[in-house]
Structure 1
Amino acid sequence: MKAIILAAGYGTRLQRDVLADSSGRFAHLAGTAKPLLPVGSCALISHWVRALTASDCVDGIYVVTNAVYHAAFEEWAVHFPNVKILNDHTRSNDERLGAVACLQLAVKHFKIEDHVIVIGGDTLFKEDFSLSKVRERFSHLQSKCESSCLVLSYLCRDEETRKYGILEVDSDLRVLCMKEKPLPSETESRRACPCFYVLSKKSLPLLDTFLVEKKEASIEEKDAPGNFVSWLIPRKPVHIHQISGRFDVGNLSSYIECDLYFREKDVKSYMV
């Protein structure tokens, strides 16, 4: 199994907040890619690499970034010999390829023909999350059907459905559909879906199909990786693995919350 960490975003909301902050407390974050932000004792992305390495659930970790942050990621990766960095060669948010195209780029560049864990580079989870449990759940699904994929799910509040992709599932926890940012009245489900997916190797060729179909679509339709998952659901079996919650570092306030949480926690065996 391989891991691809999506880290080619430009963090425009966070950088805007940092520049607007009059206290000066966060000036050191200016120009820093979100996955490289200090969270607790290390960079956000380092929590993932340490957990992936300690759990021994993957034999390759690939990080897709952009030309602006490429050098910074290469410098960070010196400490992690099992990590390879891929530059998507974009230089601005307007040029961005979109997360699905970045995923496809990594699969093709590294000639991946294995199951893939896809991880959003600005996301972390709470203590109940375990890569070992995810691998166990995925292996069980694979034993029944080799096309099976796995996504995470946690319960959000009513007012939060408009912020996330919401999963509707059957009694076997197979996903029936994903509704993108629905009103609370538009679905009974409160199962939010963060950017962490285990894609079977049999599903990887569908990245090409999806991007061909979306060739003329706006970047927004190709950007969020959840758009691919939503498209995949009627084509391959997709099941959920339940967790208690996540940290999504989108702006300064969410970064502060995430950093404080990890400063107060003992995370030596975190996520393993």
Structure 2
Amino acid sequence: MKAVILAAGYGTRLQRDVAADTSGRFAHLVGVAKPLLPLGSCALVTHWVRALSASNCVTSIFVVTNALYLSAFEQWAAQFSNVKIVSDGTRSNDERLGAVACLQFAVMHFKIEDHVVVIGGDTLFKEDFSLSQINTRFSELQAQCEDNCMMLYYQCKDDETQKYGIVEVDSDLRATCMKEKPLPSETKSRRACPCFYVLSKKTLPLLDTFLEEKRNALIQEKDAPGNFVSWLIPRRPVYIHHISGRFDVGNLQSYIECDIYFKEHLHNTKTYMM
């Protein structure tokens, strides 16, 4: 299995907040890509690399960034032998390709022909999350059918459905549809889906099909990787796996809260997410 970490975003909300802050406490965050933000003892994305490497779930880790942050990611990755970086070539948020196109680009550039773990570069999970459990569950699903894919979910509150992609499932925990930021009245489900998917190698060619269908669509329709998964659900079996929650660095306040947690409350840092 291979891992693709999507890190080509520009963190516009966070950088806007950092620029507006007058305390000076966060000046060191100016121009820092969200995956490279210091969280606790290391960069956010380093938590992923450590866990992926130690759990032996993947053989290679590929990070897709942009031209603006390329050198910073290359400098960061020099400490890891199993991490490779590629740039999508863009230099601004207006030029962005969208996450699905970045995933497709990584698959083509690195000639990936294996199962792929897709990870949002600005997301971490609560301590109950285990890559070893993910690997075991996906192996079980693959034994049943080589087309099977997997996604995560956690329970959200009624007033939070409009923030997330919400998945609906059948009695076998197979996804039947995913609704993007629905009103609470539009779905009975409260299963929110973070950016973490395990895609079967047989599914990868469908990235081309999806992007061809969306060739003339607005960037919003192909930006989030959840848009691809939503499109995939009627076409391939996608099963869900429960976690308790996630850390999502979106703005300065959420970053501060995450950093405090990782510095003061994270237990078992050596086995985190493994």
Q: State whether TM-score is above 0.5.
A: yes
Task: Give TM-score scaled by structure 1 length.
Answer: 0.99
1:5 is displaced (CA, Å) by 0.1
**SS state of the match for residue 86, structure 1?**
strand
More displaced stretch, 157-166 vs 256-265: 256-265
Q: Distance in 2 between matches of 1:166 and 1:24?
A: 38
Q: Distance in 1 between matches of 2:20 and 2:171?
A: 47
Structure 1: state its 5+ residue gaps. Answer: none
1:171 aligns with 2:180: no
Q: Distance in 2 between matches of 1:213 and 1:188?
A: 30
Match of 1:15 in 2: 15
1:249 is displaced (CA, Å) by 0.6
Instruction: Supply the AA of the counterpart residue of 1:57.
Output: C
Match of 1:68 in 2: 68
**SS state of the match for residue 108, structure 2?**
helix
**SS state of the match for residue 271, structure 2?**
coil
**SS state of the match for residue 50, structure 1?**
helix
1:244 is displaced (CA, Å) by 0.1
1:270 aligns with 2:272: yes
Match of 1:119 in 2: 119
Q: Kindly report which structure 2 residues correspond to 1:174-253, keeping only aligned pairs within 5 A, or say none.
A: 174-253=174-253
Instruction: Supply the AA of the counterpart residue of 2:19.
Output: L
1:167 is displaced (CA, Å) by 0.4
1:55 is displaced (CA, Å) by 0.1
Task: Give TM-score scaled by structure 2 length.
Answer: 0.99
Instruction: Supply the AA of the counterpart residue of 1:162.
Output: Q
1:25 is displaced (CA, Å) by 1.0
Q: Distance in 2 between matches of 1:120 and 1:133?
A: 19
Deviation string, structure 1 residues 234-257 (Cα, Å, up to 9, x no partner): 000000010000011111111111
Q: Distance in 1 between matches of 2:38 and 2:156?
A: 26
Q: Distance in 1 between matches of 2:272 and 2:53?
A: 12
Match of 1:30 in 2: 30
Deviation string, structure 1 residues 49-79 (Cα, Å, up to 9, x no partner): 0000000000010000000000000000011
Q: Distance in 2 between matches of 1:76 and 1:90?
A: 20
Q: Percent identity?
A: 77
Instruction: Supply the AA of the counterpart residue of 1:213.
Output: E
Deviation string, structure 1 residues 64-113 (Cα, Å, up to 9, x no partner): 00000000000000111100000111000000000000000000001000
Q: Distance in 1 between matches of 2:51 and 2:170?
A: 31
Match of 2:133 in 1: 133
1:53 aligns with 2:60: no
Q: Distance in 1 between matches of 2:29 and 2:243?
A: 30
Q: Distance in 1 between matches of 2:78 and 2:164?
A: 35
Instruction: Supply the AA of the counterpart residue of 2:152.
Output: L
Match of 1:110 in 2: 110
| 4+ long deviations beyond 3 Å | none
Structure 2: state its 5+ residue gaps. Answer: none
Deviation string, structure 1 residues 205-259 (Cα, Å, up to 9, x no partner): 0000000000000011110100000000000000001000001111111111111
